[in-house]
Amino acid sequence: MKHLALIMDGNRRWARANKLDTLMGHDRGASTLKSIVRAVAEQGVPFLSVFAFSTENWRRSPEEVAGLLQLMRKFLMSQTQSLVNENVRLVIIGDRTAFDKGFLELFEMCEAASAHCTGLVLTVAINYGGQQDLVHAVGEAQKQFPNEEISSDMLKSCMMTSHLPPVDLLIRTGGEKRVSNFLLWDLSYCEFYFSDKLWPDFSDEDLKHAFADFYHRTRRFGGDVSSTSKRV
């Protein structure tokens, strides 16, 4: 497996179930992410992409949005050095036009601090939407390759995910079974694993179960069984 994607769903439901404020669920979810990043790196997976904040999440209450942004700021400020110490490179994708100067400088600082790291590439999607990424890529491809027939490779090179290989496995927690506008281009031939666990309760053992399930599948990529392998 080269690329694992995570939709970390269930923070708010976890908070309600535990009679806690919504933001406490998101805070606990951030702690889970720290553990899972380490576990993924230990498994030798080179790319991990996580959906932290979608373009649709702005529709939540102003209080929750403000709290989420504050938690993201706290996570990036407190965890970047830890990621660097573990040789993890941080890449942030998404539409940055919605963020103030302080956030933009923080994004740039975190990416620059880990740019030399050669281990796991952790891509964090913030204010990201797969449809918007495709629309933006089409416009960029037309600018970069005028008067040419646009190929899939050209389009990929203009996407926010141009540094990423195709997703091999998408894990979504929280019991929902949809992709929610995440990495639409890169999910084309991936396997899906849906867990009923709410994200704050998702453990390293749950991750191992998901990996074991993946490695027992036969991936055909549109071909027949003889031309593919279970372990890709």
Residue 82 scores a pLDDT above 60: yes
Q: What is the pLDDT of residue 221?
A: 63
Q: Which pLDDT score is estimated for 228?
A: 47
Residue 231 is predicted with a pLDDT of: 53
**Residue of 9, 27, 133, 206 with catalytic role:** 9
Number of Cβ within 10 Å of residue 188's Cβ equals 12
User: 61 phi and psi, to 5 degrees?
Assistant: -60, 150
57-61, 124-128, 212-216, 219-223: the lowest-pLDDT one: 219-223
**CB-based contact 122:48 (threshold 8 Å):** yes
Q: Tell me how far the alpha carbon of residue 79 is from its chain's centroid.
A: 16
Mean pLDDT of 99-125: 97
Active-site residue flag, 168: no
For the chain, give the percent of residues with pLDDT over 70: 94
Active site residue 57: yes
Greater model confidence, 224 or 15 = 15
CB 190 within 8 A of CB 163: no
Residue 219: band (very low, low, confident or very high) from pLDDT cuts 50, 70, 90: confident
Please give the model's pTM, rounded to 2 decimal places.
0.93
Q: Which of 12-16, 34-38, 219-223 has the lowest mean pLDDT?
A: 219-223
Q: Domains, the chain, ranges and CATH?
A: 3-227 (3.40.1180.10)
* pLDDT tens digits, one per residue of 116-175: 999 999 999 999 999 999 999 999 999 999 989 999 999 999 999 999 999 999 999 999
The whole-number average pLDDT for the span 68-92 is 95
Stretch 57-61: mean pLDDT, rounded? 91
Encoded amino acid at 117, one letter: C
Which of 18, 21, 27, 57 is catalytic? The answer is: 57
* Whole-number pLDDT of residue 232: 53
